[in-house]
Amino acid sequence: MESLFHPIRESGSLSDRIVTLIEELIDSEALGEGQQLPPERDLATMLGVSRPALREAIKILEAHQRLIVKHGQGVFVGLNKQDLVRQRLANLEISLMELFRVREVLESTAANWAASSATVEEIEVLARILEEQEEAYLEPVDFVRLKHLDALFHMTIVSMAKNRFLSQTFAALQEMIDEGMETTLQVPGRLEISRNDHYRVFEAIKDRNTEVAAAAAAIHINGAKNAAMKRLRQPT
């Protein structure tokens, strides 16, 4: 293993240079997953670096899952870049699935309650949001405005349900969606489906049909989930 490590002489942060070297060895499979690195003293000597700089690099690599530190046993090779990407993708898929399951529960319930409690004025507000969406659909499609109006449409329905705990929970969820997700409306075919879904939810609420409103909302969220998963799996 000594032949893999050589003194580091390039310019830049010493710990960053150590990180780069070890990552290159892992990604090239010169170091295999699960392989144990030399003891700290020996590795520092091989690299021609101080032990504090090496410890800092190991901390960085551990945080990035490239190395695994087992106290009392040593430091072991973690995931290479390809496996790391696969793991992160799997974790993102699980997170998305959980997010949309919660959305389905909350928003189908909100649509149900909105259909039974919405005032005429509130239904008119929802209708105006749909009118504004129609303007944003015109070519060239204004996806930034559509994302805002889409969120407003959903939040308005939650507000119409008249349950403060539901509103608070959805507000926190919406904040997560805004921070962590790009709009799914740019997935091919999704724009028209989402547009039709919104009208079905709106008509059910206007007609005071609680069951249809809940079902339409659930269908809409399920479609958004499928579009989000499709977008996530697309090669970059």
For the record, the structure tokens of 208 come out as 């005071």
Domain end marker among 28, 56, 79: 79
| Residues 102 and 217 placed together within one structural domain of the fold | yes
19-27 long-range contacts (CB < 8 A, ≥24 apart) are 19/57, 19/60, 19/61, 21/47, 22/57, 22/61, 22/66, 22/67, 23/61, 23/66, 23/81, 26/66, 26/77, 26/78, 26/79, 26/80, 26/81, 27/80, 27/81, 27/82
Domain end marker among 79, 103, 138: 79
CATH number for the domain harbouring residue 151: 1.20.120.530
| CB-count exposure of residue 72 (10 Å: 0-12, 13-18, 19+) | exposed
Domain containing 229 equals 83-233
For the record, the structure tokens of 53 come out as 């700089």
Domain end marker among 36, 55, 79: 79
CATH number for the domain harbouring residue 36: 1.10.10.10
| Residues 152 and 41 placed together within one structural domain of the fold | no
Structural domains in the chain (count) = 2
| Residues 98 and 50 placed together within one structural domain of the fold | no
| Residues 222 and 105 placed together within one structural domain of the fold | yes
Of 232, 228, 235, nearest to 103 by C-alpha is: 228
Per-residue pLDDT of the chain (236 residues; tens, 9 = 90+): 656 776 766 556 889 889 999 988 888 888 888 889 999 999 999 989 999 999 999 999 999 888 999 988 999 998 777 666 666 655 666 777 888 898 999 999 999 999 999 999 999 999 999 999 999 999 898 988 998 999 999 999 999 999 999 998 888 887 777 654 566 788 888 999 999 999 999 999 999 999 999 999 999 999 988 888 887 777 55
Q: Is 214 helix (H, G, I), strand (E, B) or coil?
A: helix
| Residues 75 and 88 placed together within one structural domain of the fold | no
